[in-house]
A and B are shown apart, each in its own frame.
Chain A
């Protein structure tokens, strides 16, 4: 067992001026939790797949005369199995420990993080505009998405950067480095996709929706150095951190606190609009509103590209079930529902012409470059070796 441990993908997180520093014991805890997650993926997940295919599924076929019909039926069967229960419990425990161990470092060094954010922010290549009067969407602040304590809206005071520091380090541990040292593979793959697909496209203004710490925003700064890049999110702590992080890396981004469903930008203001794993953290009511806002904000000839994990139709029923565990066990209430939504139909309803809406898979740019090309099963990582991109043109 463990011959293809995902731990071998691990690369150190890329340095920047805002990364929370762990002392000796804190680093040992973080390393252990990361190893624990890698162990689950490499040494337990394959056994869970085998349990289904060689035991649960044949037994059901024998009894019922047909294979399980869909991920819901698979779920009913698998949740009875002790091995699956244990696997699901371990995933949950590893996720809870992940945030908990990072919080140790943040609690210990918060004044330093706040001071660093202030001094990085003074460089001001880009900008930061917070709006304390913004009414934060309930779907986003009422849930601690992926079990992150405090959630995206978390705010501990006028200079707080906790949510950003926690998200940045936590996502790195979660992804085991498979999203690259800067956690930026979704944005990076989407930006590369746009450049490859539309080589003559020269956007003047770019907007990233739901940017969190701006990790997926920055590949667009690199891909389109002439463009003015904007990024929005709802969380003030996230945005302070994102701004300081971008400044420390010498990247010019204009961050502002806004709801992606109703921004204050003028009509047709952007040539390129993007989002990375925003959709699966967005409610069924908010998603159509965000697509309508995207339509409004795009200039004629503009392109929108939204990256996320693959939809259910792109994988078999068992992988659907495994991926859907996030919905049930990882505080991701919108995850499963979003993967069933017809994003193409919603885009057309939002105003895009049918011939200008495409649903594509963008290969992982980081893993291709790093020579880590391989198809993942659900439970290991995002299934396959590509991100979904919804491409809509105006």
Chain B
């Protein structure tokens, strides 16, 4: 019989957004993103093993140990992936970090003679 450990956390979960459904959506989104990352790694592993052996074997995939370089490449991919998911926030955060702001943008449009 498979083992099942209780996963719920004691206490009421804090609500972050005006609508609790939004909180749930964010949790679901990130759970989905996690699974997408898992799939990405599966395919990545598949391709690497296939390239190495010319044939796809389940045992080869299970035994595949990413070396330091592969781990670094995967880390870089994950950071890009996360940046894409948060593209809506990136613009707002960039503004606040002074990379660009509304004021500059309005000035730019003025300068180019909209």
Contact = CB atoms under 8 A, between A and B. Distances in A.
B82 A7 contact: no
B9 A29 contact: no
B23 A89 contact: yes
Contact of A23 (B16, B62, B86): B62
A273 interface: no
Contact of A24 (B11, B16, B62, B83): B62
B79 A103 contact: no
* Prevailing SS type, chain B contact patch: helix
A355 interface: no
A96 B7 CA distance: 9
B94 interface: yes
A28 interface: yes
A32 B93 contact: no
B4 A107 contact: yes
A38 B64 CA distance: 25
Contact of A162 (B5, B30, B31, B79): B5
A162 B98 CA distance: 46
Interface string B78-97: 11001100100110111011
Interface residues of A, number: 58
Given A32-B37, A97-B31, A149 B86 contact: no
Given A47-B93, A47-B96, A94 B6 contact: no
B26 to A, nearest CB: 5
Given A2-B83, A32-B34, A89 B97 contact: no
B79 to A, nearest CB: 6
Nearest to B75: A7
A39 B4 CA distance: 31
B14 interface: yes
B17 interface: yes
Contact of A35 (B4, B23, B78): B78
Contacts of A1: 83, 90, 93-94, 97
Contact of A150 (B6, B11, B14, B17): B6
A29 B79 contact: no
A32 B33 CA distance: 9
Contacts of B92: 47, 83
A97 B30 contact: yes
A331 interface: yes
B7 A144 contact: no
Given A5-B79, A33-B34, A43-B83, A83 B16 contact: no
B93 A35 contact: no
Contacts of A381: none
Contact of B26 (A5, A25, A90): A90
Contacts of A50: 93, 96-98
A337 B86 CA distance: 34
Contact of A29 (B34, B64, B94): B34
Nearest to B14: A329
B38 A110 contact: no
Contact of B10 (A31, A151, A162): A151
Interface string A84-97: 01101110111011
B75 A101 contact: no
Interface in A17-53: 23-25, 28-29, 31-33, 35-36, 38-39, 43-44, 46-47, 50-51
A89 B16 contact: yes
Contact of A96 (B16, B27, B38, B45): B27
B6 to A, nearest CB: 6
Nearest to A106: B5
Contacts of B17: 85-86, 89
A148 B8 CA distance: 9
A10 interface: yes
A33 B13 CA distance: 20
Nearest to A94: B30
B41 interface: yes
A31 B7 contact: no
Contacts of B69: none
Given A93-B27, A96-B9, A150-B5, A35 B14 contact: no
Given A39-B86, A50-B97, 14 more contacts: A1-B94, A10-B75, A28-B38, A29-B38, A44-B93, A47-B93, A85-B17, A86-B26, A86-B89, A88-B16, A89-B23, A96-B27, A97-B34, A143-B11
21 contacts: A23-B62, A24-B42, A28-B38, A31-B78, A32-B33, A35-B79, A36-B78, A38-B79, A39-B86, A44-B93, A50-B97, A83-B89, A85-B16, A88-B16, A92-B16, A97-B31, A111-B3, A147-B9, A149-B7, A150-B6, A151-B10
